[in-house]
Structures are given as structure tokens and as C-alpha cells.
């Protein structure tokens, strides 16, 4: 496992951009796990920026899923999914099975522990932790959700 601490939003964006460039070909599902304020949405904004998605980048907390059209690294669509308020049984209503089968899509999931029973066996897990207001710690290479 590797942990990196960022000291600003800009550093988090750069970390997310590097992650996309390094990991995009290995796995197309990114699970961001951490408490409220841990930096999950900020990390996702960096991912979306690297892929050239059109702003604004907002959390899909109330919509559950936001789709972004992109065209970089073989990715044509990004699904940003926030499952804070729902569970596995609700995922079919957002087209979950089609989303995970789309080999030209990147899926970024906040609160993945709420749907861990329907996640594919291979996902990128990133643990997100707030150290203080501007400082966040991101841990990569976690083998499964905690």
C-alpha cells in the first residue's frame, strides 16, 4: 500500500490526475472510501479534470449518479456514483448492470461499502482521510473495502 498526503485542493487534483494516467488501463472502477469531508469528491473532481469532463463537477449525493462525456485514454463516459443514501437493492434503478459492463466507461463510486456485495471482484480502492481542513491522506493499493 502507498499513502500520499495532500495539503491543498490543487495537490489533490494533481494526485487524482496522476492516478488516472497510471491506473486507467488496469481497472475502470474506482471506489473512494472515507468519512464525510475526507476528500472523495475533491479527488473525483481531479479525475474528471484529467479526463476533460465539462464542469461543473458536483457531488451526485441527491441524484445518485452523474454522467460526464469524455474522450481520453479510451474512456468515453465517466459515471460518478454516490451511494451514501442507498444500498445494493437500489442500484438496478440507475442501470448498474449496464454501467459496469461498459468497457469505455470509468466508474467512480463514493461510499462503496454500501454496495460491496454487488461490486466486481477487481476494483481500485482508495481510502480517503481528512487530517485537517486542507490536509488529506489518500491510501492506494488496498485489496478490499474496509
pLDDT (tens place) for every residue of the chain, 146 residues total: 899 999 999 999 999 999 999 888 778 899 999 999 999 999 999 999 999 998 877 776 657 889 999 999 999 999 999 998 888 888 888 889 999 999 999 999 999 999 999 998 889 999 999 999 889 999 998 777 76
pLDDT at 61: 63
pLDDT at 76: 95
Length reported for the chain: 146
pLDDT at 121: 85
From start to end of 63-123, where are the E strands?
65-72, 75-82, 105-110
Q: Where are the domains of the chain?
A: 2-142
Q: Give the residue among 49, 52, 44 at the shortest CA–CA distance from 79.
A: 44
Report the C-alpha gap between 113 and 82 in whole angstroms: 11
Q: Give the residue among 132, 133, 131, 113 at the shortest CA–CA distance from 123.
A: 113
Please state the φ and ψ torsions of residue 95, each to the nearest 5 degrees: 80, 30
Q: Mention the CATH class of domain 2-142.
A: alpha beta
Q: Cβ neighbours of residue 114 under 8 Å, at least 6 residues apart?
A: 83, 84, 86, 87, 88
Amino acid at each position: 500500500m502507498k499513502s500520499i498526503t495532500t495539503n491543498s485542493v490543487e495537490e489533490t487534483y494533481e494526485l487524482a490526475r496522476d492516478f488516472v494516467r497510471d491506473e486507467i488501463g488496469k481497472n475502470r472502477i474506482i471506489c473512494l472510501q472515507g468519512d464525510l469531508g475526507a476528500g472523495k469528491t475533491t479527488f473525483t473532481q481531479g479525475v474528471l479534470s484529467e479526463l476533460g469532463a465539462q464542469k461543473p463537477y458536483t457531488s451526485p449525493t441527491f441524484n445518485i449518479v452523474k454522467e460526464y462525456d469524455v474522450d481520453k485514454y479510451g474512456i468515453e463516459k465517466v459515471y460518478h456514483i454516490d451511494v451514501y443514501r442507498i444500498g445494493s437493492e437500489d442500484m438496478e434503478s440507475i442501470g448498474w448492470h449496464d454501467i459496469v459492463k461498459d468497457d469505455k466507461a470509468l466508474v467512480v463510486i463514493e461510499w462503496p461499502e454500501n454496495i460491496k456485495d454487488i461490486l466486481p471482484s477487481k476494483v481500485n480502492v482508495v481510502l480517503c482521510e481528512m487530517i485537517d481542513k486542507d490536509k488529506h491522506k489518500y491510501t492506494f493499493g488496498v485489496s478490499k473495502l474496509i
